[in-house]
Amino acid sequence: TAVNRILKTVNLLLLASLCYAQTPGSDSLFVRQNYRKLDRQIVMRDGVKLYTTIYVPTDASPTNRYPVLMERTPYSAGPYGESNYPKSGPGPSKELSQEKYIFVTQDVRGRYMSEGQFEEMTPALNRSMSTTPRKGKKGQTAAPAGTDESTDTYDTIDWLLKNLPTNERVGLMGISYPGFYASAALPGAHPALKAVSPQAPVTDEFIGDDARHKGAFFLLDNFGFMNYFDGPRNGPVEDYAPLFNAPIKDAYQFFLKMGALKNANGPQYYNQKSKIWNEYIQHDTYDAYWQSRNIRPHLKNLTPATLVVGGWFDAEDLFGAVNTYKAIEEQSKSQNKLVMGPWTHGAWSRADWSQFGPLSFGQNTAKYYRDSIETRFFSYHLKSKGTFDQPEARVFDTGVDAWRSFEQWPPAAGQGKTFYLSANQQLTATKPASTDAFAEYVSDPAKPVPYTDGVFARRNNQYMIEDQRFASRRPDVLVFETEPLTADMIIAGPIDATLFAATSGTDADFIVKVIDVLPDTTQSPDFSKATSPLKGVQLAGYQRLVRAEVIRGRFRNSFEKPEAFAPNQPTEVKVQLPDVMHTFRKGHRLMVQVQSSWFPLVDRNPQQFINIGTANDSDYKKATIRLYHDATHPSAIQMQQLR
Count of beta carbons in the 10 Å neighbourhood of residue 530: 14
The DSSP code for 365 is H
In the complex, the smallest distance separating the C-beta of residue 421 from ligand PG9, rounded to whole angstroms, is 33
Nearest CB to ligand PG9, comparing residues 318 and 512: 318
Q: Which is nearer to ligand PG9, 229 or 361 (CB)?
A: 229
Identify any residues that bridge with 515 across adjacent strands, giving them in sequence order. 545, 591
Q: What is the closest distance, in whole angstroms, from the C-beta atom of residue 316 to ligand PG9 in the complex?
A: 4
Q: Which is nearer to ligand PG9, 77 or 642 (CB)?
A: 77
354-393 core/surface letters (b: 16 or more CB in 10 A; e: else): bebbbeebeebbbbbbbeebbbbbbbbbbbeeeebebbbb
Q: How far is the CB of 210 from ligand PG9 (least distance, A)?
A: 4
For the chain, the first-to-last Cα distance in angstroms comes to: 77
Q: Give bridge partners of residue 450 from the DSSP assignment.
A: 599
Looking at residue 443, its amino acid is S
Sign of dihedral through CA atoms 203, 208, 209, 211? positive
Containing 20, the helix (H) or strand (E) segment is helix 2-22
| Interatomic CA distance for residues 57 and 97, integer angstroms | 10
- Rounded to the nearest whole angstrom, what is the least distance from the CB of residue 205 to ligand PG9 in the complex? 7
CB of 198 to ligand PG9, least distance (A): 12
Interaction between residue 71 and ligand PG9 (CB under 6 A): no
Q: List, as one string, the DSSP characters of 375-389.
A: HHHHHHHHH--S---
Question: Which residue's CB is nearer to ligand PG9, number 106 or number 468?
Answer: 106
Q: Tell whether residue 204 is a contact of ligand PG9 (CB under 6 A).
A: no
Closest to ligand PG9 by CB, 229 or 286: 229
Smallest gap from Cβ 317 to ligand PG9, in A, equals 5
Q: Which amino acid is at 410?
A: P
Handedness of CA 355, 361, 362, 368 (dihedral sign): negative
- The residue from 54, 96, 202, 551 that contacts ligand PG9 (CB under 6 A) is 202
Q: How far is the CB of 448 from ligand PG9 (least distance, A)?
A: 24
CA-based angle 171:175:181, to the nearest 5? 60
Dmax of the chain from CA atoms? Answer: 101
Q: Please, which residue, 229 or 313, has the CB nearer to ligand PG9?
A: 229
SS3 30: helix
Show the site string, 274-313: x = touches ligand PG9 by CB under 6 A, - = not: ----------------------------------------
d(CA 291, CA 183): 16
Residue from 225, 361, 463, 598 in contact with ligand PG9 (CB under 6 A): 225
Site for ligand PG9 in 226-245 (CB under 6 A): 229
Q: Which of 177, 313, 361, 378 binds ligand PG9 (CB under 6 A)?
A: 177
Whose Cβ is closer to ligand PG9: residue 274's or residue 595's? 274
Among 71, 99, 284, 316, binds ligand PG9 (CB under 6 A): 316
| Closer residue to ligand PG9 (CB): 97 or 274 | 274
At residue 538, what are phi and psi to the nearest 5 degrees? Answer: -120, 115
Tell me how far apart the alpha carbons of residues 316 and 209 are, in angstroms, rounded to a whole number.
6
Q: Counting contacts by CB under 6 A, is residue 509 touching ligand PG9? A: no
Taking the complex as a whole, the smallest distance from the CB of residue 88 to ligand PG9 amounts, in Å, to 19
189 contacts ligand PG9 (rule: CB under 6 A)? no
Distance CA 202, CA 183 (A): 9
Residue among 177 and 480 whose Cβ is closer to ligand PG9:
177
How many CA atoms, within 13 angstroms, populate the side-chain half-sphere of residue 554?
A: 22
Instruction: Please tell me the count of residues contacting ligand PG9 according to CB under 6 A.
Output: 8
Tally Cβ neighbours within 10 Å of residue 512.
25
If the CB atoms of residues 221 and 516 are measured against ligand PG9, the closer one turns out to be 221
Q: What are phi and psi of 443, to 5 degrees?
A: -95, 115
For residue 159, the minimal CB distance to ligand PG9 (Å) is 26
Q: State in angstroms the smallest separation of the CB of 400 from ligand PG9.
A: 29
**Residue 463 C-beta: closest distance to ligand PG9, Å:** 16
Residue 496 buriedness (CB in 10 A; 0-12 / 13-18 / 19+): middle
Q: Based on CB atoms, which residue is closest to ligand PG9, 217 or 510?
A: 217
Q: Please say whether the beta carbons of 148 and 123 come within 8 A.
A: yes
C-alpha 111/C-alpha 230 separation (Å) is 10
Q: Return the number of the residue (261 or 636) whose C-beta is nearest ligand PG9.
A: 261
Q: Give me Rg for the CA atoms of the chain.
A: 26
Host H or E run for residue 368: helix 365-369
Q: How far is the CB of 226 from ligand PG9 (least distance, A)?
A: 8
Q: Are the CB atoms for 117 and 108 separated by under 8 Å?
A: no
Residue 321 or 594: the one with the smaller Cβ distance to ligand PG9 is 321
Q: Would you say 316 or 467 has its CB closer to ligand PG9?
A: 316
**Shortest gap between Cβ of 390 and ligand PG9 (angstroms)?**
25
Kindly state the DSSP code that residue 370 receives in the 8-state scheme.
I
Map the footprint of ligand PG9 across residues 317-356, applying CB under 6 A.
317
List 114, 156, 176, 203, residue binding ligand PG9 (CB under 6 A): 176
Which residues have a Cβ under 8 Å from the Cβ of 117 and sit 6 or more positions away? 109, 110
Q: How far is the CB of 277 from ligand PG9 (least distance, A)?
A: 11
Q: Which of 155, 204, 210, 507 binds ligand PG9 (CB under 6 A)?
A: 210
516 binds ligand PG9 (CB under 6 A): no
- Contacts with ligand PG9 by CB under 6 A lie at 176-177, 202, 210, 225, 229, 316-317
